[in-house]
């Protein structure tokens, strides 16, 4: 039998681990409408965006604009719970989760193709790499520019097959959201030009001297 002392130790250990894991989560940026503020507040996020750009040829502002729309930069974002009779939980609308609101099946495809087996949807670096992979694939499959946030988002929401069938034409609300993402991406791009030099110099300083 397990002693009361050991039970108490196990409970404390579990509580400590839960606290530790919760402490590792990065809070959403204070000013999510400004790319410079986002990357200045979270310099490691900029490093992740740079790596994504180098690996997938994706500009740093497009996946950021899409990610904001999907999760508001919440690491554990998920679709709202659905209820039967208003109070009996019956599950969520989909299994999308994390910064990128990636669905399990699509995330599994990403893992298989990239070999990133230790990746997590609640990790910003992994979510950014996933979005870079998806944007790259969208460019290859449907010929959508990696800078075209509007149509990249429509692919992201509808899937490559759905986009080819133009399923979004039956969803006026989605087209409006895609336009919103595109507008945000353009603002982010303009903002980036005002702080790129500072971000790059700060990133190099940390790389060599941090």
Q: Residue 205's pLDDT band (boundaries 50, 70, 90)?
A: low
Q: Cβ-count burial of 91 within 10 angstroms (0-12 exposed, 13-18 middle, 19+ buried)?
A: exposed
**pLDDT for residue 156:** 97
Task: Write down the mean pLDDT value for the chain.
Answer: 83
Where does the chain show beta strands of DSSP type E?
Answer: 81-84, 88-92
Q: Residue 159's pLDDT band (boundaries 50, 70, 90)?
A: very high
Euclidean distance between CA atoms 197 and 188, whole angstroms: 15
Delimit the domains of the chain by residue range. Answer: 29-209
pTM: 0.81
Residues in the chain: 210
Q: Is CATH 1.20.1250 the right assignment for the domain spanning 29-209?
A: no
Q: What is the mean pLDDT of residues 121-140?
A: 97
Q: Residue 35's pLDDT band (boundaries 50, 70, 90)?
A: very high
Beta bridge partners of 148: none
* pLDDT of 114 strictly over 60: yes
């Amino acid at each position: 039998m397990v002693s009361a002392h050991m039970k108490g130790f196990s409970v404390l250990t579990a509580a400590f681990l839960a606290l530790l894991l919760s402490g590792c989560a990065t809070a959403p940026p204070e000013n999510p409408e400004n790319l410079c503020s986002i990357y200045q507040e979270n310099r490691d996020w900029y490093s992740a965006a740079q790596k994504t750009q180098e690996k997938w040829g994706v500009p740093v502002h497009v996946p950021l604009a899409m990610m904001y729309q999907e999760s508001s930069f919440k690491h554990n974002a998920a679709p709202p719970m659905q209820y039967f009779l208003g109070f009996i939980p019956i599950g969520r609308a989909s299994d999308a989760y994390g910064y990128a609101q990636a669905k399990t099946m699509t995330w599994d495809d990403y893992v298989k193709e990239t070999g990133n087996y230790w990746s997590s949807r609640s990790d910003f670096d992994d979510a950014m790499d996933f979005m870079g992979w998806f944007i790259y694939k969208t460019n290859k499959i449907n010929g959508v520019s990696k800078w075209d946030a509007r149509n990249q988002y429509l692919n992201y929401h509808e899937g490559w097959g759905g986009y080819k069938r133009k399923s979004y034409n039956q969803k006026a609300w989605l087209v409006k959201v895609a336009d919103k993402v595109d507008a945000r991406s353009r603002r982010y791009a303009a903002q980036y030009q005002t702080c790129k030099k500072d971000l790059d110099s700060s990133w190099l300083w940390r790389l060599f001297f941090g």
